[in-house]
Chain A
Amino acid sequence: MLDKKWAKKGALLVLVVFMLSVVVGCGGGQTSDKESKGDGAETIKVGINCELSGPVASYGDNSRNGALIAIDEINKAGGVLGKQLEPLVRDCQSKTDEAMNVSAALADEGMVAQIGPLTSGTVEGSTSVMMENQIPLIAPAATANKVTVDEKTGKVRDYIFRVCYRDSDQGVRMADFALNTLKVKKAAIFGSTSDDYAKGLAKYFKEEFEAKGGTIVAEEGFMNLDKEFRGTLTKIRGKNPEFIYVPGYYTEVSVLIKQARELGITVPIGGGDGWDSPDMVKVAGAEALNDTYFTNHYSVEDPNPAIQSFVKAYEAKHKKAPDSFAALGYDAVKLLADAITRAGSADPVKIKEALEQTKDFAGITGTMSIDEQHNPIKNIVIIEYKDGKLVSR
């Protein structure tokens, strides 16, 4: 008897759920109206597809903040082509499938271009939808070489752009810096093997360092989330390198550097933009970080007025200093606005053509020109930790 009652209730609940889903389906349908895309619309819709939850949520969060500050600035100054920019912020949960899903939803809502996602994998998830819909995507921080170029066919992905330099650029830059500025000849590599980003950096560093006459005396790896590096560090110490290259993210690198210094390894240590986080100083300590260098997109302490006004606006709104992701998100929006102005139209295809023609665009992460593979040509900043402060070299 009781069973039957419950079955009834359960079935009713299921019915309600079904009805709800129907309602949801209709609701979604109403927002999709193709007319609102491009020139006819009253606002210019900019999709912001970021990782707001999941393992790399902090990138997405900061980049979105940067992008929204840029949109605010542009709108206050009268918008683009006399129209306001309307940000459509969505969360891709750090998942490739969700990135594709979000892009499809945004395309449906009539965006003219998409900012984000942040990591190379999620951008690749989003890519096929953007190409199908012929809407440009500007990736703020996807550094893998293959993002803008199909590796198999060597063809450029028409609608995919980025405002950050590639992994290869970073590895090469640090190798040159170590050889020419730090004057070292023997280097060790101790990088993360859990992601392609760190593996890529290590690979390009090694190629450049050896090509320019240096020798790699040791090559070791760690996994993301590792906490104990002393064993491998001792091994590396035995090989007497003059420089240690540690590509990886700040979570592990901060602990690694601390342990290296405790073991009496005093040689300079270098890394990539994954180091960029206030947590570095908190975990490793200011002293341990002395004589460490990393390649980065920009420096908060750069006196350039454009950078300082951005830093001020960001700090006023979010009570913290903007990291590279924020700056790159800001630049991505500014580059888009610049392209729309030059195209004289908010039609996605025309925006894409204008993006391809970008020459000497003055962003806060450097002056950039877009090359034929849709990568920016710009300089790479080397940042040194000096008593817990970031100093650009």
Chain B
Amino acid sequence: MQDKKRTWGKFILEVIFLVALFTLVQYLITVGILNRYYQINLTLMGINIILAVSLNLINGFTGQLSLGHAGFMAIGAFASVIMTTLLDYPFIIGIIIAMLAAALAGFIIGVPTLRLKGDYLAIATLGFGEIIRVVLQNIDYTGGPAGISGIAKMTTWPVLFIAVVVTIVVIVNMINSSYGRAIISVREDEVAAEVMGINTTKYKVLAFVVGAAFAGLAGALYAHYFYIVKPETFNFLKSFDILVMVVLGGLGSTTGAVIAAIFITVLNAFLQEYAAVRMIIYALILIIVMIYRPQGLLGNKELSRKSFNRIWGGKHVSSTNK
């Protein structure tokens, strides 16, 4: 009974927080304090959060090193643009098709490649990402290497916000469910998990498909904000960018992924003025963080109200900790 009350309280608090955050930003955009420049970075932030959180499900929680995330993003981007720009369907259809197409690709790729482990899987997924890019470059329907331009801007703040919240809620709940425990058991010890009767292939593919679907969502949002999509955007460097966020935040920490995505976006925007040395400073900061926090900013911990209480002398809480 006590527990149930606490859960409800927590839920209501979270909803209030989210609504407040949404309204605040919406207000700032309406009155013009957040101009186009800030809006662009806000959008990039949201898209990066979706990408990092979804890749974290595959790399962090399932422990399968995938380097093809940009490929799924590309599929989502092009699938949604084909629906909206070329075939004139509404944006929501574009998003749904994007997610389905990316999930399907995740399934097709996942089934054969997830038998591989470690380096081999990394190489297979890397190759897959490149294949998608090269194939897209040679399809005339999608404009070949120049891609498709003239995409209407439909990724507004409400759309972006809902997408980010849905992504995090779905992935966090998945991890906290029995599916999630099975997925984590695969990461911890695949043989032991198998012995315990867990169908490891099934859970690996599941994580892969869900991760891919959300990468597709990110691709759709990306395409409908930046006016033009071209295959070159989704090269393997893009996959590495996402991987950097996941590793920086801490493999296996959703809050870590979110924070790292925000951190990287802000860092990138901040360094814009130092054009010449930008990439050097960027790399240096990453190296320094990795030297002092090799497990990532948050390791595999989550940041919650509990951890805040712990810092601000919440002695009564610490007793409930493990």
Contact = CB atoms under 8 A, between A and B. Distances in A.
Tell me whether A and B are bound partners.
yes
A345 interface: no
Contact of A104 (B37, B298, B299): B37
Nearest to A196: B146
Nearest to B143: A196
B147 interface: yes
Nearest to B151: A128
A105 B37 contact: yes
Interface stretch (A78-86, A143-151, A172-180, A372-380): A143-151
Please tell me the size bucket of the interface on A.
Answer: 35 or more
Please tell me the size bucket of the interface on B.
Answer: 35 or more
Give the most central of B44, B147, B150, B308: most A CB within 10 Å. B150
A193 to B, nearest CB: 7
Interface in B262-313: 262-263, 266, 269-270, 272-273, 275-276, 278-279, 293, 297-299, 301, 303, 307-308, 310-311
Contact of B273 (A8, A90, A133, A223): A90
A37 to B, nearest CB: 13
The main secondary structure of chain A at its interface with chain B is helix
B2 interface: no
A121 B37 contact: no
Nearest to B226: A97
A14 interface: yes
Contact of B147 (A32, A97, A121, A150): A121
B312 to A, nearest CB: 10
Contact of A91 (B222, B276, B321): B276
A152 B38 CA distance: 30
Give the most central of B228, B232, B259, B311: most A CB within 10 Å. B228
A357 interface: no
A280 to B, nearest CB: 23
Contacts of B303: 11, 14
B118 to A, nearest CB: 26
A9 to B, nearest CB: 9
Nearest to A198: B145
Give the most central of A6, A101, A133, A152: most B CB within 10 Å. A101
Contact of B146 (A8, A121, A133): A121
A27 to B, nearest CB: 8
A301 interface: no
A121 B230 contact: yes
Contacts of A196: 143-146
Contacts of A107: 36-37
B159 interface: no
B308 A127 contact: no
Nearest to A60: B275
A356 to B, nearest CB: 22
Given A21-B262, A21-B266, A96-B226, A10 B35 contact: no
Nearest to A27: B270
Give the most central of A10, A89, A96, A199: most B CB within 10 Å. A10
Contacts of B145: 194-196, 199
Nearest to B140: A199
B226 A10 contact: no
Contact of A96 (B144, B233, B278, B318): B233
Interface string B62-73: 000000000000
B299 A10 contact: yes
Given A101-B269, A132-B36, A11 B307 contact: yes
The 5 residue pairs across chains A and B that have the minimum distance between CB atoms:
A196-B146, A91-B275, A104-B37, A21-B266, A195-B145
